[in-house]
Amino acid sequence: MKKNQMFLIGMSTALFVILAACGNSSAESSTTLEKQKENESIQHTDDDSFNSESTETDSKNDKTNTNTSDTKNNVTNKVDSNDTNENVDTPDNENKKEELPKNNTVSKKEEYVTKLNDTKKKTDEMRENPLDDSTYALKKVEGDRYDIWDGLLNEIYGVLGEQLPSEEMEQLREEQREWINYRDKTAKEASLKYEGGTEEHLEYVVVENNLTEERCFELVEKYMK
């Protein structure tokens, strides 16, 4: 009787141990399955996020490429437009070209006519505004005027030597010698009315200056080009 009880107790204990072991195994299996499901869910979520980011990146790249292409096209169009504007002559541009003077160069003759007029104005003011009314002050003015006009006469004569043919220039030299004799003779005759007086030399220089001024205008008008 006691042996049967002991056997039953042993069998019960063994059965309990087996059931407990099965329960733990089932729990571990369940836990493992749950962990696998969680890992799969996380991996799926990561894949979706990666795919979403890739899609956004591709979209941005497409937009960037599109903008870059548009920018290049705009630049090209502007360059083409500028080239077209520069190369095409409109009627207004053609008219402006026609209105431009063909020759803006001032001739020597025009240059010296202006120079002579300016010099005459300057020397006339000198004669009208001496330091005082004394003979000495008047002689000083006429001496300064002579330096100006005689220097300008020599300058004009040098320009004509470059412009005129040799034969014509030789004739002008002879003419100039005769003019110098004429100037000196005329000035001398004019001064004789003050012979022996303080104004004799003054009158001589005044006439000499007037004739030299006239000769400068004559040479420019008659010979200069």
- The ranges assigned to domains in the chain are 1-100, 108-223
Round to the nearest angstrom and report the end-to-end CA distance of the chain.
Answer: 165
Low-confidence ranges of the chain (pLDDT < 50): 2, 22-33, 39, 41-102
Q: What sign for the dihedral angle of Cα 53, 54, 58, 61?
A: positive
- Amino acid identity at 62: D
Burial (0-12, 13-18, 19+ Cβ within 10 Å), 210: middle
Question: What is the distance between the alpha carbons of residues 225 and 211, in angstroms, rounded to a whole number?
Answer: 22
- How many whole angstroms separate alpha carbon 137 and alpha carbon 143? 10
How many other C-beta atoms can be found within 10 angstroms of the C-beta atom of residue 159? 18
Q: Which two tokens stand for residue 25?
A: 């195994």
The predicted structure's pLDDT at residue 89: 44
pLDDT number for residue 111: 95
Contact between 198 and 135 (Cβ < 8 Å): yes
